[in-house]
Each structure stands twice: as C-alpha cells, then as structure tokens.
Chains A and B, each alone.
Chain A
Amino acid sequence: MSEHTRTRTTETETETETERDETTGCPECGGKVTADSEHGETVCRDCGLVVEEDEIDRGPEWRAFDSAEKDQKSRVGAPTTNMMHDKGLSTNIDWRDQDAYGNSLDSRQRQKMQRLRKWNERFRTRDSKERNLKQALGEIDRMASALGLPENVRETASVIYRRALDENLLPGRSIEGVSTSSVYAAARQAGVPRSLDEVAGVSRVEKSEIARTYRYVVRELGLEVAPADPESYVPRFASELDLSEEAENRARKLLGNAKEQGVHSGKSPVGLAAAAVYAASLLTNEKTTQAAVSEVADISEVTIRNRYHELLEAEQDLAFA
C-alpha cells in the first residue's frame, strides 16, 4: 500500500518536471514544443522528439455526421456562464406540452405544468445577493447589446461585477452605477473600448457617477486597466463618418507616429483618435468638417484642432529625425 502511494507521488513529481520543460522548450534542442491531439503526443517542432505520448483524449466516445445526430448523442448541456446569476446551472421544464411518450398532455395537466414552470422560475432567486446579481447582470446585458460588445466582454463584465459584489463594494452605490463601470472596464480590458460618453448614453446613471464608481472599483479590485489606446477608437469613428479603408489606415499611421514621439501621453485617447481621423480625412482628400468629427466623437472642436496640429508636427519630426 505504501509503495503504491510512493509511486503515485513520484509520478506527480515527474509530471510537474515535464511541465516546466514544456514552457522552456524541448529538452534536447530547446525548440518549440506543440501538442498533436490526433496522435495524443507532445512533439518538438524542430528536432522531432516525442516529449509526451499516450495522452488521454477527453472527448466523447461517439461520432456524429450531422447536427441532428450530434444533438441526440450529446450528454452535456450548455457551458456554464458567468452572465447568468445562477451560472447557467439551473434547469427548466421544457416548453413542449408532451409527456415522455410524446403524447400531448390534457388541459388540466398543461395548466399544472404552466404553474410549475412559473414557480420554478420564481424559486431560482433565493437571497438578496442573488436578486441583486440578477438585476445587475440584466443591466450589463442590456448595455452591452446597445454598445454592440461581443460575448467575451460581457463575460468579463459579469466577472468584474461578481467580484465587486463579493468584496462588498456595493453598499452606498447604485447597482446600475457599478454595472456600468464593469462594462466600461471590461471593454477597456478587451481592447474594444467605448468612450465614457458612449457608455453614459446607454446607462441609467450620470457620467460623473460612472467615472467615480469606475475609479473606485478599479482601485479596490486591483484591476489592471491600461490607458486606452487611441487606435482602438479609430475604426468606429471612421465607419460612422463613412471614410474609406485608406483614410482609416492613414489615421492609424499618424497615431503610431505620435506614440513613437511620445506626444500621446497625458492626452485623452478619444481626442487624439478624433484628431487623427480628421487629419487622415484631409490627407486622403475625403474631407470632413471638424464639426462632424466633434459630434461623432463627442469631443470639442478646440481639442480636435489642438491635437491635429500636434499630430502633424509629430509626423514631420519623425520625417526629419
């Protein structure tokens, strides 16, 4: 018995050792190591050494040749998601009014099933925290839809909100305020930022409150949110102003130059992006007015003018340097 346990511990030790090797490279030549799931091996790309073999395939034991077969054979349901207050783990009574044999239920049984469905729905929320979570996640979902954010951003925002709830950051703040801040933070983290004005436009709280709550949440949770990259605002402004791909690329180049020169630090990223889009439109002869750009980006014309000059100077300095 003791021998058994001994061998088991040695096995785990060797496993961790091989893991360390994988991150550093192939043990023989130091090249890149990739996993080949078809043969269940981990192989070095350069010298061909088989680092690990007989890997256990964790997939299903069946094969399906069309989607109907796949639905029938699969034993799992939907993946768990942080976007639902119960993480998608609860079940519902099916909407079809049929029994297990496929026969339709009579009207009394149908009414009974309807009542059971209603109460099942009501019992899903238990304590005040779950109710809070349900409302907040609904708000996050609504705002993310209105801003056109993809699913991964919604998941991130839900996770941020859950963390804020667990750390008791909510008392004294509105649910909508914290959920809006989560959305704003998640969008920034994912690299598809939405400006504070856009987020305030779809939120039920004021811009100042959003900013305040956001700073508080980021500080308390220790979130690492890098300052927004002005280049990520360019596609949206360009598409709203109906500018061509060429103008968009020009704007991106201008911003790249500004970054090299260090002109961008301390300036609002949205302002820089707006000015870059304006400059690019002039340079590619697809002229737009400062007024139009100001409306699309919600930035004052003065800011656009100032940043515009700075950007052009940066480009010229680069050309000379």
Chain B
Amino acid sequence: MNRQDRRAISREYFSRERLAEHHFRSFNNFLDRGMQRVVEEKESIDTDIGDKEGQEPVRVDLSNVRVVTPRVREADGSEELLYPQEARLRNITYSAPVFMEMSIVRGGEEEEEHVVDQAETKVGRMPIMVGSNKCNIADFSDEELIEIGEDPADPGGYFIVNGSERVLMTSEDLAPNKILAEYDTKYGDEIQIAKTFSQRRGYRALVLCERNRSGILEVSFPSVSGSINFVTLVRALGLESDEEIVHRVSEDPEIVKFMLENLEAAEVGSTAEAIETLGQRVAAGQGKNYQLKRANYVIDRYLLPHLHEEGVEDEETRTNKAVYLCRMAEACFELALERRESDDKDHYANKRLKVSGDLMKDLFRTALNKLARDVKYQLERANMRNRQLAVSTVVRSDVLTERLEHPIATGNWVGGRSGVSQLVDRTDYMGVLSHLRRLRSPLSRSQPHFEARDLHATQWGRICPSETPEGPNCGLVKNFAQSMELSQNVDDERELKRELASMGVEGIPGIETVETHTADD
C-alpha cells in the first residue's frame, strides 16, 4: 500500500473517530450507567437510631441519580450555564450538579414502615470531561465553538478543576479474575504458584495457590496470615469426599497421583472439622462460636469475592469457589509437569486498562460512602434533638464535591496511588494528543523490570513501538497506536450467562440450564 492510500485511510478514520475516543466512551459509560450502579450497590444508608429502646429504626433509601450539564453558581445565588473557557479563565471547576432521590424511612419494629420525607436533592457537583455527553459544548459546530471561545481542533477528554486542565492517566494492570501460573523460588527451591486477582466492586484481593517443595498445596488470601492447606480449605467449602476433590481437579493420572499425595497428608476429614480448623486460624484464642462465625465470614467476604453476585445464595457460591480453587490447583500441577507454560505477564491478553471512567467510578464509590457516613451522623444528631427529619437539612453537598474534586486536582487517588491526574501538556498540538493517548504502567520506576520494558509482540497494532520516553520511564510509559480501539467491559453479565444457559451450559449459579437437543437426535 503506498503512502497516498495509507493517508487517505487514516484521514477517513479520523474524520469519524475522535482522537481521545477511549476517554469519552469510558466517561460517558460512567455517567450513564456507572453512577447509577454504584448507588444501587449502596442501596440505603442505615443509622444506629433503632438500636436504642423505644426508638424506631430510621434509614435512608437511595434511588435514581442524575447529572445535568455544568453550571456556575454566582455569589448572588443565580445559576448560569458554564462553558469551558470561562472555567479556565476564572479558575473555577467545570462541574455539574448531581441530584439524587432520597427517602427517609422510619419504622419496622412496632409501627409500619412509613416514609418520613422524600425528595430529590442536590448532593454535590461532579467534574465533567470537556467534550463528553454532558458537556455544554458537546455538539457545537465549529463557528459556535469559536464564538464561545473554544478551539475547534481541541480534542477534549480532560477535566477542568480550579482552572487547570487535568488528564486522567490510563493505567494498565494484570487482568482480574483470571488464573495466572508462574514459577517462583522459595528457600532456594523452585515452586509453582497460581495467582488470581479477584476483583469485585472496587475491592481487589490476591488469591494464591502454591505448590511447595514437598508437593503440598497451600492457599493464601487476604485477612488470613500465612497460607492454609488446600485440602482443608476445599473441605471447608463443601467438597468433602476424596473422590469429589480429585474429580474436580483433573482426570489425568499423573495429576491424580499428586492429589492423592495431598489427600494423604490431609489434616481434616469433614466439612465441620475443616471450618473449625479455619476458625482456629483466623480467630485464635476466642470462643468456639465466634471462631465459627468468623471463619464463615472470612470465607464469604475475602476468598474469591468475584464469584459472588446478586440473587445467588452464599451456599451455592461456596461450591463455585471450591471448583475454582481446584482449577487453580490443576494449573499448579500442569505447570509442575511442564504441560503448561508459565503465563507471560506482559502479554496484552492478560492485561486490562483502567481509563478515566473506571477511575471516576472508584472515586465516586468512596465519595458516596463518605457522604453516607455524614448523612448518618446528621440524622442521628437531628433525631437526638427531636427535630423534624428532612432530606434538605440532612445532606451536605460539600462532602461529595470535595471528595471528587480534590483527587483530580492533586493526583492522589483512593487506594494510595499518586500521579493519576496530570496537567495537560500544552507545548503544542501534538503534545496534547500524545498526552491524551498515553498509557502508564504501575511498576516502580527505580527497578530495572527488563521484561516489562521490552517491546512485546502483542503490542502490534495496539501500542506504538517507537514512542516511549528516554530515561527511567523507558518502556513503562507507552502511547497508543494510531488506529487503536479500546473494547469495553460487558455491562450486564447476567444477560451473557442466560444466553450461555440457553445454549446448554450447566452449572451456572442461579440460572437453570435449558435442555437442548443434541445433534444426533
């Protein structure tokens, strides 16, 4: 293909797609669905009011959340539409009011549950990305843009906080909810480890299954120090008999041999015993009841949280967790027998990108939690002084606004990361475009990380092979290729699961398999 043809294709491509399209797609998805989903996860705010005698429990139910377009509130109280150039010049934040429907519900014990007050109030302001759906200049023509003071060639995709333009850096991470196998050395010997980053609703847990030098499998997960014997854990999750466990791991005779070794060295025989042992590990020195309660809590909350979902009982998910752990064990054994290669951590199939919408979602979740705590406090105080409970007096809009603007302004994100938001590099037009299409790796800059910095074959067509900075960031800071398109996560996994079940896949929790006719009927 000669240069003219390539240029024509490129021009045609960019006449439709915007250069920072991945930012827009991610943020628009966050505004349309992400925010509502976070509010639905939260559901309601509980208070401690009902705990005392003679008091009815009070809670606040949260429903629809909506965002309008950015406006500015002047000192005299009037509100007007805000355009980006005015925000840049006046050093204010280009943000839009967020409204949420809240209803205060009292009752449940003696009297009926009745709604004390229900209203849609302004709960704060959300910074809006310039050029996104809710931006005021989103569908302006070139002449209108010039009139309003904007550059028609400006790509957008950044936020304006306190007058400065800030980009949220896309960062790459290992894919969550995937089993990755690798070799490691412990006490000089080489052992095999199967890792999985289990992520659910912003909580990310690393679950390890390792096969140590004596061939025994051990599992480690958050909130439990050290590792737990694999067989014990699997028994605690409901897989009791030896045949079941071996069957779930693999049918292969060599792996079966390894498993039998493990089973011989098992410490427990039944589910009850296993939970007891686990209880002794997590809550040492406490009463038996508390130990059992804590063991059950730890299993449900901290072990493989991604397998939980709405509407499915905890009992069913436990069997799923057991099956998942068996798959991890299989991965360990296959690695030991050299049937499986250790997973390449630089392969882009094992990587996922966190774009601005995902980052804002995490931020919104923590901000909403802080707002909930504040509302709880205000409600309890108002109730103590026997005042009328009203939605308008209980919500402080500053809490949410502060929690959303501050991380974007400073770059310090929830979860302790810094440098997430950066000042847009306005050296020249190319600088802006390059900055918006940048990709950061979270690896430390001071370590060599030879493999991570290398050019990988899977970067073909996705990441530019030549554009990377010199110096300590070399190979860790990358830029997108010209015609790169970022795929988005499936929104509703249940749709997908229902479809699979209708095709005959068995064992999906909460969904019944539809009987299908096989080919030879």
Contacts and interface: CB of A to CB of B under 8 A. Distances in A.
A29 to B, nearest CB: 39
Interface in B76-94: 76-80
A141 B80 CA distance: 23
B387 interface: yes
B392 interface: yes
B91 to A, nearest CB: 13
Interface residues of A, number: 23
Contacts of A238: 78
Contacts of B393: 142, 202-204
A235 B74 CA distance: 10
A146 B388 CA distance: 18
A105 B49 CA distance: 37
A122 to B, nearest CB: 15
A74 to B, nearest CB: 15
Contacts, number: 47
B78 A235 contact: yes
A300 interface: no
B77 A204 contact: no
A293 B387 CA distance: 31
Given A204-B382, A239-B80, A145 B396 contact: yes
Given A145-B398, A146-B392, A203-B393, A239 B78 contact: yes
Contacts of B388: 204
B227 interface: no
A165 interface: no
A147 B77 contact: yes
Interface string A135-174: 0000001100111111001000000000000000000000
B77 A141 contact: no
A235 B77 contact: yes
B63 interface: no
A236 B397 contact: no
A232 interface: yes
A204 B416 CA distance: 38
A240 B74 CA distance: 13
Interface string A217-260: 00000000000000010011011100000000000000000000
Most B-side CB within 10 Å, residue of A96, A232, A235? A235
Contacts of A153: 75
A192 interface: yes
A225 to B, nearest CB: 17
Interface in B44-90: 73-80
Given A201-B392, A202-B393, A148 B77 contact: yes
B398 A194 contact: no
Contacts of B74: 148, 235
A201 B393 CA distance: 9
Most B-side CB within 10 Å, residue of A145, A150, A236? A145
Contacts of B76: 192, 232, 235-236
A8 B507 CA distance: 94
Most B-side CB within 10 Å, residue of A96, A148, A238? A148
Nearest to B393: A204
A201 B73 CA distance: 18
B189 to A, nearest CB: 27
Contact of A145 (B78, B80, B397): B397
A145 B76 CA distance: 13
B77 A150 contact: no
A235 B79 CA distance: 9
A148 B73 contact: yes
A319 B74 CA distance: 34
Contacts of A150: 75
Contact of A146 (B79, B382, B397, B416): B397
Contact of B75 (A192, A239, A240): A192
A232 B74 CA distance: 12
A141 B398 contact: yes
Interface string A182-194: 0000000010101
A85 to B, nearest CB: 16
A183 to B, nearest CB: 13
Interface in B365-416: 382, 387-388, 392-393, 396-398, 416
A257 B76 CA distance: 22
B220 to A, nearest CB: 15
B392 A202 contact: yes
A305 B120 CA distance: 33
A202 B76 CA distance: 16
Contact of A204 (B75, B80, B387, B398): B387
B397 A149 contact: no
Contacts of A202: 392-393
B392 A194 contact: no
Interface string A270-303: 0000000000000000000000000000000000
A75 to B, nearest CB: 20
Contacts of B78: 235-236, 238-240
B268 to A, nearest CB: 28
A147 to B, nearest CB: 7
Given A146-B392, A204-B382, A204-B387, A194 B77 contact: yes
Given A145-B398, A204-B382, A204-B387, A236 B77 contact: yes
A150 B78 CA distance: 12
Contacts of B392: 146, 201-202
A232 B416 CA distance: 46
A8 to B, nearest CB: 45
A219 B273 CA distance: 77
Contacts of B77: 147-148, 192, 194, 235-236
A240 B80 CA distance: 10
B399 to A, nearest CB: 9
Most A-side CB within 10 Å, residue of B75, B77, B388, B393? B77
A239 B387 contact: no
Nearest to A152: B75
Interface in B180-231: none
Contacts of B80: 239
Given A204-B382, A204-B387, A239-B80, A149 B75 contact: yes
Contacts of B75: 148-150, 153, 190, 192
Most A-side CB within 10 Å, residue of B75, B78, B388, B396? B75
A146 B119 CA distance: 15
Contacts of B397: 145-146
A149 B388 CA distance: 25
10 contacts: A142-B396, A148-B79, A150-B75, A194-B77, A202-B393, A204-B382, A204-B393, A235-B74, A236-B77, A239-B79
Which 6 pairs, one residue from A and one from B, show the smallest C-beta to C-beta distance?
A: A239-B78, A236-B77, A148-B73, A235-B78, A150-B75, A145-B398
Interface of B: 73-80, 382, 387-388, 392-393, 396-398, 416
Given A142-B396, A235-B78, A238-B78, 16 more contacts: A142-B393, A142-B398, A145-B396, A145-B397, A146-B392, A146-B397, A148-B73, A148-B74, A149-B75, A192-B75, A192-B76, A201-B392, A204-B388, A235-B76, A236-B78, A239-B80
